[in-house]
Chains A and B, each alone.
Chain A
C-alpha cells in the first residue's frame, strides 16, 4: 500500500517536472526534457499525457529535436487524435522547407500517423513531394503512398497516387524506382489477391527495372528481383534475357540479393524448359553458376545460414543437379548451432548418392559419436535413410550401424535398431543375418519405439530366430507396464510367432497375451485388436495367416519430401520468404485479415466487415489463418474420413497399429464390414463384434490412397514397420504444423447431437509429451471443452516421441461465453503441454457441426416464416453440383433439411428449399433457398434468418457441405 503510493507520487512528480521543463524557454533544457520523454517511452512508460507539451516543441530549426518530437508523435498520435491535429500545420509547412531532409522527414512521419483527420491533410504535401526535385524526397514519398493506402485506400485511388507511383518506375534515380516498386508491391499485398494487377508489368517496365537493377542499393535490388520473380512470362526468350541480366547479381555480397536472384533464375529455368529444346544446355549452364553463390551463403552468420539451408533444401528437391557435387560443404562443423546441424544433415541425406556415400557415411558415423543426443539420433536415422534410398550402399550402411551398436551407448543402439527395422522393411530377406547381433542388445532397450521395433523384428522373423519364443516371453513379462505402442506390437508379434511356430509355448503365450489384452487393459485399441485376432484365430486360422503374415508393400524414404505442387509453389513463388523457411504455404501462418478478403472475393459475396487492424494483438486474440486452410483440406477429405467419423466413442488409435501386418491381403470387403460395424452404437465393455470398430481405422487407412507406411525420419512420419495409419490421420486438416515440435490436426464434427473435436497430436520432439489440456477462447457459439484434460489413451496420458495420438474432445455450449455479434466461425484453441508449453491454433467451426438433428420444420411453416422474416441475403457460390439428388443427400447429411424441390422452367434451374436450426450462439432457425443448374458452376443461395449476420455463416459453410466433405 505505502509502496504503491510512493511510486505513484514519484511518477506524478516526474511527469509534472517534465511538463515544466517542456514549457521552459531555455532551449537546451527543453531539448533535454524531450530526450527524457523519449527515454521514458523507450522503457515502456506511458508518457502520452505530455502530448500537447511535446507537440509544442515541434516547431524548431533544430533537426535533431524535430526528429525526436516526430518520433513521439508516431507513437502517441493515435491515443490523442484530436490533439494530433495541432501538428498538422507544422507538417505541411515542413513539407515545403528548403531543406530536402526536412521535407522528406515531414512526409515520412505524416504517413506514420494513422489518424484519419491527418490523412486528409497529407494528400497535398504528398502530391508535391512525389514530384519533388530531390530524389531523396521522392523515394520517401513513394513509400508514403503505401502507408496512406493502408489507412485509406479509396483516397489513394481517388487522388491518382497509384498512377503517379507507376510513373515513378521510369524515374531517373534508381532508388526512387526501387521504392516505387516496393510500394506497389506492398499495396498489391494489402489489396489482396483479388485486387487488380497494379504493376502491369510490360516489356517496357521490365527493361526499366533491369536497368535500375545495376545501380540501386542492395535492398532496392532485392525489391526488383522479387518483382522479376513474380513476372509471369511464358516466352523462353524473355526468360533468357532476364536471367542473363540477373546472373551477375549472384556475385553480390548481400545474401538477400543472391537468394532473390537465385529465385528469379530458377523461375526462368522453368520457362526455358518449356522451350523447343527443353533448354537443357541453358539450364545446365545456369545451374553451374548458381552453385558457388549458394555455397557461399553458408559462410554467413548462423541465423542467415539457417534461412539459406531451409531454402537450399527446397532447391535440392526441385533441382537436384544444382548442388549434386557439393555434399561436402554441408558437413557439419563441430561448433555449428544445433539448428544449423540438423538442417545440414537433412541436405546431406538428400545429396547422398552412390558416388559420395562413403564420404557421407564416414561423416555420419563421426556425428553419431558426438555428445548432443538429438543430433546423434538424427545422424543414426540419417544412416538408415541413406540405406533405404541407395540400394547399392545398404550393406555399407548396415555395417556402420553395426559398428555403432558395438559402442553400447544406449540411445545409439536403440536408434540403430529402429532404422534397421526400416531397412528390413525395404529389403526383405537380405540382411537378416544381423538379427543375432541385434538380439545381443535387448537389455539396453528402454524406449518404446526401439522396443516395439525390436519386437516387430522378432515377430516378423520368428521362424529364423531359434529362441524367438524365449525373447518374446522376456518382453511379455512386463506387458502390463509397457506403453501401448509396445503392447500392440507385442500382441501382433505373438500372433505371428504362433502362426509361424505353433508350439506349445507359443500357444500358452498367445492365450496369455490375448486374455491380458482383452480383460486387463483399458486401452480400447489394444482390446479391440486382441478381439480381432482372437476371432480370426478361432474361426479360421488359415485366414488369420493370410491376413497377419501377408506380404507387405515396399517402403520408400519419402518422409520429408514435400508434395510436388507445394514444392513448386515454394520454390518458384515463395523462395526466400518465411513460407520457404517453414516449408509450408503462407496461408497457414499469415493472418486471416487478408485471407478474409480473399475468401469473400472467391465466393463472390459482398466484402466482409474486416476486423480492425488496430486491435491490440494479444496472442490469444489473434486471428489466424489456419481456419481457411483447414476448410480447404476438409473439402479434400475423401470418404475415408466418413468411416472415421463413425467409429463413435472410441478414440482413434493412439499408437501404431499392426496395419502393415494385417492389411494388404485383407479382402476389400472387409472395409465395408468393419465400417458397418463401426456404425453400431456401443459401450465400453461391448461384445467382441462391436468392439472391433476402433480397429476400423487401420483398414480405413489402408483403403485410402496414401502408402500404408513411410519411413520414419525427420521425426515426422509415424514409425514404418510398426504400421501406422498415416492416411487416416492425414485426412484431418492441419491446424498447427510445427516441424520438430508438436503438431495438431483436427476437425469439428457433430456426432449424436454433440459437437466433438477430433484431434490428432503429432509429437515430433525427442521426448514424450504429456499433461495435455485444452481450452477455447470465447467464440460466437459459446463452445468449450467438456473437460479440459485430454484423455490420451496411453499410460500417463503421454504422446510418445515420433508418434501420433488421436483424441476426441466433446464440446459443450455455454451461453454465458458467447461473444457479441457479428457471428464468426473462428475458434481459437489453446493446448497446454508440460513439455512444450502452450500451443495456440485457430480453427473454423463448420456449418455441419452446428446444425441440429431436430432442426426440421413443416413446409407450411416454412412458407409463413419466409414471409415473416426480414429480407434475404443472397450470394453466388462458385460450386458445381452434379445433381439435385446429390445436393439433397449432402444437405440432409449435414442436418440441412430439404423441404421442397422444384424445377424453375424458365432458367432450367433446380430450386431447393431447406432449413436448419442452430441453437448455439442464438442463431435460431435458418431458411435457405438454393438455385442451380445441375452440373454447371454456380449456386445461388438466399438465406433468411432472424439475425442478419447468419447469412455469411451459411455462405462460408455451404461449399464444404455441398462438396460432400463435411
Chain B
C-alpha cells in the first residue's frame, strides 16, 4: 500500500525512453515500451485525453503525467496509493526544474540518476525537497579528492588523504543529519551580515462571469513566497487576518500551532521557498469589469463591442493587459477600433488580441470590432462561443482582502540583538479570468 511505484520512466513526446529507474523487480523495460504503442500513440478515442492519466493493462498499472515535452510514467503492480504516486511525480517535476532550470539535456542524465536514487527507495518516496537534496547531491557531484594518491584503496592511503576522508565523512554526516533531522529544511550555523526577509504575496484571481456581468464563479489562489537571508535558527510568526477559506503550508510550518492559534509559526529554510498557499472565495474585489456585446449579424458578419473598466484605486496601474476576444473559425478579417493600446485579429488563436501596455485604475477602455466571416454552406455546427479571456498583472494590489498583520522574528540565542529588515510586496495576477459571451 505504501509503495508508489515499481519503476519510473521518462519519455519524450515521441515515446522514446529517455530514462529508466527500476525500484522493484516486477516490471521491465518491455512493459514500459508498450506505453508508447498502447497509450501514447493509441487512437484518439483511446488516448489520455479521454481516459485520464491512469490505466491498467494486463496487471500493470500505468500512471503518467505530462510536463512540457516530457512524460513521466510510473508502473506498479499493486494497489498503491495513487494520489501519492501522482503527487510524487509533480514533486519530481519541481525538483528537476530547480536542478536544471527547465533545461533537460543528455548531460543531466547522470545527475538525474543520482537524484532518482535519493528520491525513492524500493518504490517508497523518500526526500524530494530541492533545498534538502542540494545539501546531499551537488550539481557537480560529491567528489572526495583522495585523488590519484589514494588510488591504492582505502588501506593504502596516505595520512593526509585519510584526514581529508575523515573531514568528508564528517561533512556527509552533517548532511545526512540535516536530511533526516527534525528541522530537516534548515542547517545549523548559517550567517548573514544583514538579516533580510522578503515576503511576496502573489494572488492569482480566477473568475467566470456571465454575459450580463454576474459572477458565476470566483476564487483567488494566493501564494506567499519568501526569501529569507537570516542567521542562525530564527522562529518567525506571521499574523494574517482570517480571510482564507483554506490554506496549505510548507513543511516548516507548525500545523498544530496554526490549528489552535491561527498564527503561521515556522523556522524558515534558507533562501527562497513558498511558505503557503491559500484560497479565498468570498469578499473578492475584481480588478476589472468587462461588458461584452457580441452579435452575429447574418451569416457573414459579427459585431463585437467590449468595454473594460478597472475598479482599483487610480494610484495603481496594471502592467500589460491582454484581452482575447474569440471569433468563429471561419473569420476572414476584422476591422478594429480601440480607445487604448493596439488590437489585431490572430488567426492561430482564433481571437481578436487587444494589448494595452498599461491600464490606470478607475478608467475604462473599449474595443469595437466588425468581423467578416467566410460564408460556409454546410457548417451545421454552431460556433461554440468560447469565453473572453483577460490577462493582466497589477502590482501592489491585493484582491482577496488578505492582509499581513505582523511578521515577528525571534532568535533565541541572540534575543533582542537580532535585527531584521523586512520587505513585503504584493502582486495580483490573472488566472482564468473569463467572461462568457
Residues on A facing B (Cβ under 8 Å): 27, 35, 38-39, 42-44, 59, 61-64, 67-68, 71, 74-75, 93, 97-102, 104, 108, 111-112, 114, 134-137, 139-140, 143-144, 146-147, 150, 173-176, 179, 181-183, 185-186, 189, 214-215, 217-219, 222-223, 226, 230, 247-249, 251-256, 258-260, 292-293, 295-296, 299-304, 306-308, 311, 328-329, 331, 333-335, 337-340, 343, 362-363, 366, 369-371, 374, 407, 409-410, 574, 576-582, 586, 589-592, 594, 613-614, 616-620, 622-625, 740-741, 765, 767, 835-837, 840
Q: Which of B118-126, B357-365, B419-427 contacts A (4 or more CB under 8 A)?
A: B118-126
Give, as a whole number of angstroms, the nearest-CB distance from A809 to chain B: 21
A252-B49 in contact (CB<8A): no
A369–B172 Cα distance when bound, in Å, is 62
Give, as a whole number of angstroms, the nearest-CB distance from B142 to chain A: 4
Given contacts A39-B109, A767-B45, 20 further A-B contacts (CB under 8 A): A38-B110, A42-B19, A42-B20, A44-B17, A59-B153, A63-B142, A63-B143, A93-B154, A97-B154, A99-B169, A99-B173, A248-B256, A251-B247, A253-B249, A303-B52, A308-B83, A311-B83, A363-B216, A369-B384, A614-B25
- Give 26 pairs: A residue, B residue, CB < 8 Å, sorted on A: A71-B113, A101-B175, A111-B122, A135-B180, A136-B177, A144-B122, A150-B25, A175-B184, A217-B129, A222-B81, A253-B277, A255-B87, A300-B90, A304-B90, A307-B53, A331-B208, A333-B432, A339-B49, A374-B50, A577-B79, A581-B82, A591-B77, A617-B28, A741-B51, A765-B45, A767-B45
Give which listed residue, B20, B29, B46, B126, contacts A837 with CB less than 8 A. Answer: B46
A338-B90 in contact (CB<8A): no
Contact residues in B for A251 (Cβ distance below 8 Å): 246-249, 255, 258-259
- Which B120-174 residues have C-beta < 8 A from chain A? 121-129, 136, 141-144, 146-148, 150-151, 153-154, 165-166, 168-169, 172-173
A137–B84 Cα distance when bound, in Å, is 24
B78 sits at the interface (CB 8 A):
yes
Give, as a whole number of angstroms, the nearest-CB distance from B160 to chain A: 13
In the complex where A137-B176, A139-B180, A617-B28 touch, is A217 in contact with B251 (Cβ < 8 A)?
Answer: yes
- Taking chain A's interface residues, is the majority helix, strand, or loop, or is none over half, making it mixed? helix
Give, as a whole number of angstroms, the nearest-CB distance from A447 to chain B: 15
- Kindly report which residue of chain B lies nearest to residue A147, judged by CB atoms: B122
A38-B113 in contact (CB<8A): yes
Give, as a whole number of angstroms, the nearest-CB distance from A942 to chain B: 34
B98 sits at the interface (CB 8 A):
no
B386 sits at the interface (CB 8 A):
yes
In the complex where A214-B256, A622-B60, A835-B45 touch, is A613 in contact with B26 (Cβ < 8 A)?
Answer: yes
Give, as a whole number of angstroms, the nearest-CB distance from A869 to chain B: 37
B106 sits at the interface (CB 8 A):
yes
Contact residues in A for B43 (Cβ distance below 8 Å): 835-837
- Kindly report which residue of chain A lies nearest to residue B171, judged by CB atoms: A99
A245–B292 Cα distance when bound, in Å, is 51
B61 sits at the interface (CB 8 A):
yes
Contact residues in B for A371 (Cβ distance below 8 Å): 381, 384
A248-B259 in contact (CB<8A): yes
Give, as a whole number of angstroms, the nearest-CB distance from B428 to chain A: 17
Give which listed residue, A39, A407, A617, A623, contacts B27 with CB less than 8 A. Answer: A617
- Which B237-251 residues have C-beta < 8 A from chain A? 245-251
B54-A581 in contact (CB<8A): yes
A339-B136 in contact (CB<8A): no
Give which listed residue, B38, B51, B66, contacts A339 with CB less than 8 A. Answer: B51
Contact residues in B for A616 (Cβ distance below 8 Å): 28, 30
- Kindly report which residue of chain A lies nearest to residue B210, judged by CB atoms: A362
In the complex where A589-B61, A619-B31, A740-B50 touch, is A295 in contact with B279 (Cβ < 8 A)?
Answer: yes
- Kindly report which residue of chain B lies nearest to residue A622, judged by CB atoms: B58
A62–B140 Cα distance when bound, in Å, is 12
A251–B142 Cα distance when bound, in Å, is 36
- Kindly report which residue of chain A lies nearest to residue B162, judged by CB atoms: A98
Contact residues in A for B127 (Cβ distance below 8 Å): 217
B82-A576 in contact (CB<8A): yes
A199–B276 Cα distance when bound, in Å, is 35
- Kindly report which residue of chain B lies nearest to residue A343, judged by CB atoms: B52
B245-A61 in contact (CB<8A): no
Residues on B facing A (Cβ under 8 Å): 1-3, 17-20, 22-31, 34, 38, 42-43, 45-46, 48-54, 56-61, 64-66, 76-84, 86-91, 106, 109-110, 113-114, 117, 121-129, 136, 141-144, 146-148, 150-151, 153-154, 165-166, 168-169, 172-173, 175-177, 179-182, 184, 208, 216-217, 219, 221, 245-251, 254-256, 258-259, 274, 276-277, 279, 380-382, 384-387, 432, 434, 436
Give, as a whole number of angstroms, the nearest-CB distance from A232 to chain B: 15
B173-A143 in contact (CB<8A): no
Give which listed residue, A293, A301, A741, contacts B246 with CB less than 8 A. Answer: A293
Contact residues in A for B123 (Cβ distance below 8 Å): 186
A418–B177 Cα distance when bound, in Å, is 65
A448–B168 Cα distance when bound, in Å, is 75
Contact residues in B for A613 (Cβ distance below 8 Å): 25-26
Contact residues in A for B436 (Cβ distance below 8 Å): 366
B60-A578 in contact (CB<8A): no
A409–B172 Cα distance when bound, in Å, is 68
- Taking chain B's interface residues, is the majority helix, strand, or loop, or is none over half, making it mixed? mixed
Interface contacts (Cβ under 8 Å), in number, total 349
Contact residues in A for B110 (Cβ distance below 8 Å): 35, 38, 64, 68
- Kindly report which residue of chain A lies nearest to residue B184, judged by CB atoms: A217
Give which listed residue, B46, B216, B258, B277, contacts A248 with CB less than 8 A. Answer: B258
B56-A582 in contact (CB<8A): yes
Contact residues in B for A409 (Cβ distance below 8 Å): 380-382
Contact residues in B for A586 (Cβ distance below 8 Å): 79
**What 7 A-B pairs come out closest when comparing CB atoms?**
A136-B176, A292-B246, A622-B58, A586-B79, A64-B141, A339-B52, A248-B255
B248-A303 in contact (CB<8A): no
- Kindly report which residue of chain B lies nearest to residue A623, judged by CB atoms: B59
- Kindly report which residue of chain B lies nearest to residue A108, judged by CB atoms: B121
- Kindly report which residue of chain A lies nearest to residue B176, judged by CB atoms: A136
B148-A27 in contact (CB<8A): yes
A295–B255 Cα distance when bound, in Å, is 19
A623–B136 Cα distance when bound, in Å, is 41
In the complex where A253-B249, A613-B26 touch, is A625 in contact with B172 (Cβ < 8 A)?
Answer: no
Give, as a whole number of angstroms, the nearest-CB distance from B181 to chain A: 8
Contact residues in B for A252 (Cβ distance below 8 Å): 248-249, 255
Contact residues in A for B3 (Cβ distance below 8 Å): 182, 186, 189
Give which listed residue, A68, A143, A230, contacts B124 with CB less than 8 A. Answer: A143
A369–B382 Cα distance when bound, in Å, is 8
In the complex where A590-B79, A617-B60 touch, is A339 in contact with B50 (Cβ < 8 A)?
Answer: yes
- Kindly report which residue of chain B lies nearest to residue A311, judged by CB atoms: B83
In the complex where A27-B151, A146-B122 touch, is A185 in contact with B113 (Cβ < 8 A)?
Answer: no
- Kindly report which residue of chain B lies nearest to residue A74, judged by CB atoms: B22
Give which listed residue, A112, A176, A837, contacts B38 with CB less than 8 A. Answer: A837
Contact residues in B for A111 (Cβ distance below 8 Å): 122
Contact residues in B for A614 (Cβ distance below 8 Å): 25
- Kindly report which residue of chain A lies nearest to residue B436, judged by CB atoms: A366
- Kindly report which residue of chain B lies nearest to residue A64, judged by CB atoms: B141
Give which listed residue, A215, A219, A617, A740, contacts B51 with CB less than 8 A. Answer: A740
Give, as a whole number of angstroms, the nearest-CB distance from A740 to chain B: 7
B50-A369 in contact (CB<8A): no
Contact residues in B for A175 (Cβ distance below 8 Å): 179-180, 184
B124-A182 in contact (CB<8A): yes
Contact residues in B for A292 (Cβ distance below 8 Å): 245-246, 279
B432-A335 in contact (CB<8A): yes
Contact residues in A for B177 (Cβ distance below 8 Å): 134-136
Contact residues in A for B77 (Cβ distance below 8 Å): 590-591
- Kindly report which residue of chain B lies nearest to residue A174, judged by CB atoms: B182
In the complex where A185-B2, A219-B125, A226-B1 touch, is A577 in contact with B146 (Cβ < 8 A)?
Answer: no
A716–B49 Cα distance when bound, in Å, is 19
Of A93, A140, A614, A619, chain B has the most CB atoms within 10 Å of the CB of A619
A42-B18 in contact (CB<8A): yes
A338-B380 in contact (CB<8A): no
